[in-house]
Homo-oligomer: A and B are copies of this chain.
Amino acid sequence: MKLSQIFTKTTKTHPADAESVNARLLVQAGFVHQEMAGVYSWLPLGLRVLNKVEGIIREEMNLLGASEVRMTSLQPKENWLKTGRWDTFDVLFKVPSQTGKEYALGSSHEEIVTPLVGAYVKSYKDLPVAVYQIQTKFRDELRAKSGVLRGREFGMKDLYSFHSSQEDLDAFYARVAKAYMRIFARCGLDVKMVEASGGNFSKKNSHEFQVHTDAGEDMIFTCENCNFGQNTEVATVKEGDVCPICGGVLNLKKGVEVGNIFDLGMKYTVPFELGYTDSAGSRSPVYMGCYGIGTTRLVGSIVEALHDERGMMWPREVAPFAVHLVSLSSRDEEMNARIMSSVMELYENLQSAGYEVLWDDRDASAGEKLADADLIGIPLRILVSEKTLRENSVEWKERGVSEVKLVSVEDILQAIEVFKK
């Protein structure tokens, strides 16, 4: 895609919500636009990242055998009364209708998915069931802050699983935990799975997936050696303690929770009478688990974890484009024509080879183009100019690596192939 075709522009001005690094960089690079506190629209470059994150999650959910659905944001008040959460879920938006009714605005979907699955599950033969969606959630936070990390409207993947036994739920829970670690690794994040309290959801087994960053709102004890971790909210350890797993030292760090998994037991299946008939013909309630990943928060966490003073540094699998192609014009008309023909050929060749290319074709200065490339943060920058063409080469620069080198025009495709591996 040509940068001139994207209607957004980068800006040097810090946005109002400048307390958070993710909001500042995402807004300055034109990835998102703040509509109100905690409410962001996703613009072409940002939506590309979000789509890639969603794609990774979708792949991993499908590998778990989960079925994708799209549940509703408007939810019946009766369902929330039934679980007792209409009055206790403190961030629930309640939407009045001119029909005289009142709806819950989906901040979570247990109240929808449980009766939905209950409409189809009758016998042990119908279990297990796992369904997920990637969808917008709404939460009436008193204070929306930290950019896209804690919003009133945000993207979330929520998976729900239903089982005929605790053992089956436990086994699935463990498979989800592994899938989550793969998802976060593919997003370029070093994430710890830590023991956590269930919050509003549950007092049973639950784990959080925490990225260490100073933008985090959670305090986590983590082992310097192994994967052990505990949220301070539930901690049985303290800073400087010896790790109960490996004997290493425990440190206190700030973290952002990018995912969580809960054993819900029968908390929702009992009120919605979601039961099954076993092989002997007797009825039991279904065991249920729920598993969330904040998709927009995940994008914000990547920015918090991976940036420098110049801008964002996207990991390859979630970068909006694979290659940032920069062409610099020359004052010499003939040379300019040669640059244009070279860069157009490169643009076509890279795209034919299957690479997503952002070509900065604007009439802007070298300084502006290079600053924007650093801000936008695509992993590989390739520059074509009078200087490089005199060497029959292009300039190769990886984001986050200071070295700049020349690669000959003939070798560029092969070099990218190696780089992408």
Contact = CB atoms under 8 A, between A and B. Distances in A.
Interface string A138-157: 10101000000000110000
A385 to B, nearest CB: 24
Interface centre among A6, A95, A112, A138 (most CB of B within 10 A): A95
Contact of A76 (B35, B73, B140): B35
Interface in A40-59: 40-44, 47, 50
A97 B75 CA distance: 17
A181 interface: no
B120 A7 contact: yes
Contact of A120 (B8, B94, B126): B8
Contact of A142 (B7, B99, B140): B99
A69 interface: yes
A5 B96 CA distance: 38
A33 B114 CA distance: 12
B70 A47 contact: yes
A5 B41 contact: no
A6 B129 CA distance: 9
Interface string A99-140: 100010100000010001101110000100101000010101
Nearest to A77: B36
A152 B103 CA distance: 11
A41 B71 contact: yes
Given A41-B116, A68-B44, A68-B47, A7 B131 contact: yes
A259 to B, nearest CB: 21
A366 to B, nearest CB: 20
A67 B138 CA distance: 25
A344 interface: no
A93 interface: yes
Interface in A77-99: 93-99
A74 interface: yes
A39 interface: yes
Interface centre among A5, A68, A74, A76 (most CB of B within 10 A): A74
Contacts of A6: 67
A351 interface: no
A73 B136 contact: yes
A72 B39 contact: yes
A65 interface: yes
Contacts of A175: none
A9 interface: yes
Contacts of A7: 67, 117, 120-121, 126, 129, 131
8 contacts: A7-B126, A35-B72, A35-B76, A36-B74, A47-B69, A93-B97, A98-B140, A105-B105
